[in-house]
Amino acid sequence: MDRSISILFRAIPLAMGAVCLAFGLFVLSGGDDADHFVAGHVNVALTAICIALFSTAATIIRQLVHGYGRVWEIVLPALGYTVAVATMVWGVVTVLRGDEPEFVVAGHVMLGIGFIAASVSTVATASTRFTLIQASAARDVASGPPPEAYSERVRALLIAVPAVLAVVGLVIAGTLLGRGTTPEVVAGHVMIGLSLVCSALVALVASIVRQVRNEFGEAERFRWTWWVVAMGTINVVLGLGVLLASDNPARLAPGVVLIGLGLICFSIVSKVVLLALVWRQVFALANRIPIIPVSTALTCLFFAAFLFEATTRQPGFFVGAHVLVGLGAVCFTLFSIVSVLEAGTSTS
């Protein structure tokens, strides 16, 4: 990988993180009402996902440019987990501030964003042996993993992290929905969407670790892809269902955000399908796959533009419009990751 390109791909997640942070702080400065509070805090929290994606990109790139050592192997995943835990703690502290709607909604959403950041950080951890994917692909199917690959126990632990976080998120969502108050129903629906993103990341972690260990079989070539597509489709369908279920303005924010989270899942599809398509074969169009997260990013931003105009007529669109900007930034950050994966795995 060219050095200047490697710097660009590491800069994109940091730049998008700065966008989320700056936009969130700007929204927070615009007013003291619940809408500004929720939209501002959620955008600031999305910075954690961008930083976790930076740790993933840097982990892979440093291996490709031969600048990877024991220190980076520890520091980069630790950076992602640190911001993830900090975001979770921030979310819990916000929830504990009181029963006001803004605390309930923002706090739980920030907690779910922390779950996603931790899942992304697990992708970074799984990628500490990324260059072994090509070595494993060159080995015989029955020859087992390369000597440098991590153990079966580590493989199982890595896959378990996003899976457990997804289950915990769904349990929290079910608890919130069961209580039935409007703020908790709003938070519960969004928590479902965030948990489904964690579920989608299970496929990415599993694809990486199983290829590193030379365990990736033909049956998995599209199984994981369809899993992520299913998670994204559920998010979008659920979002549309929430939007169409009633005329309550409170439905607008969770409905829109669920659709945005579905687009995040479709961005993750690009990474999973790339790993599948270049495993032990040449895929001539591998360098076109990064178009997918670019498309989802633009979809988020154009959708947000329409909703900003709609906000002048229906204030209930305020939170959804502002959060979509941050989700668009995350989608564009995923463009950087899939480009790095393409550079490190494709022989096209």
Residues 6+ apart with CB under 8 A from 47: 17, 18, 20, 21, 24, 83
Determine the 3-state secondary structure of 278 from DSSP.
Answer: coil
CA distance 330 to 304: 14
The pLDDT value given to residue 284: 64
Residues 35-45 pLDDT 10s: 999 999 999 99
Q: Residue ranges of the alpha helices (H) in the chain?
A: 3-28, 34-64, 70-95, 101-126, 132-137, 152-179, 182-212, 220-245, 252-277, 291-311, 318-345
Rounded-to-integer distance, Cα 60 and Cα 45, Å: 24
- CA pair distance 145, 203, nearest whole angstrom: 20
How do residues 12-71 score in pLDDT, each as one tens digit? 999 999 999 999 999 999 988 999 999 999 999 999 999 999 999 999 999 888 888 889
Q: According to the model, what pLDDT value does residue 14 have?
A: 96
Encode pLDDT of 135-192 as tens digits.
887 777 777 888 888 889 999 999 999 999 999 999 999 999 999 899 999 999 999 9
Collect all residues with Cβ–Cβ distance below 8 Å to 30 and sequence separation of at least 6. Answer: 36, 40
Does the pLDDT value for residue 285 go beyond 80? no
| Burial readout 161-180 (b: 16 or more C-beta within 10 A, e: otherwise) | bbbebbebbbebbeebbeee
CA 13, CA 177: separation in Å to the nearest integer? 34
Model confidence at 348, pLDDT cuts 50, 70, 90, reads very low
Rounded to two decimals, the pTM is 0.95
Question: How many CA atoms lie within 13 Å of 264's alpha carbon, on the beta-carbon side?
Answer: 33
pLDDT at 68: 86
Least Cα distance to 173 among 126, 222, 238 occurs for: 238
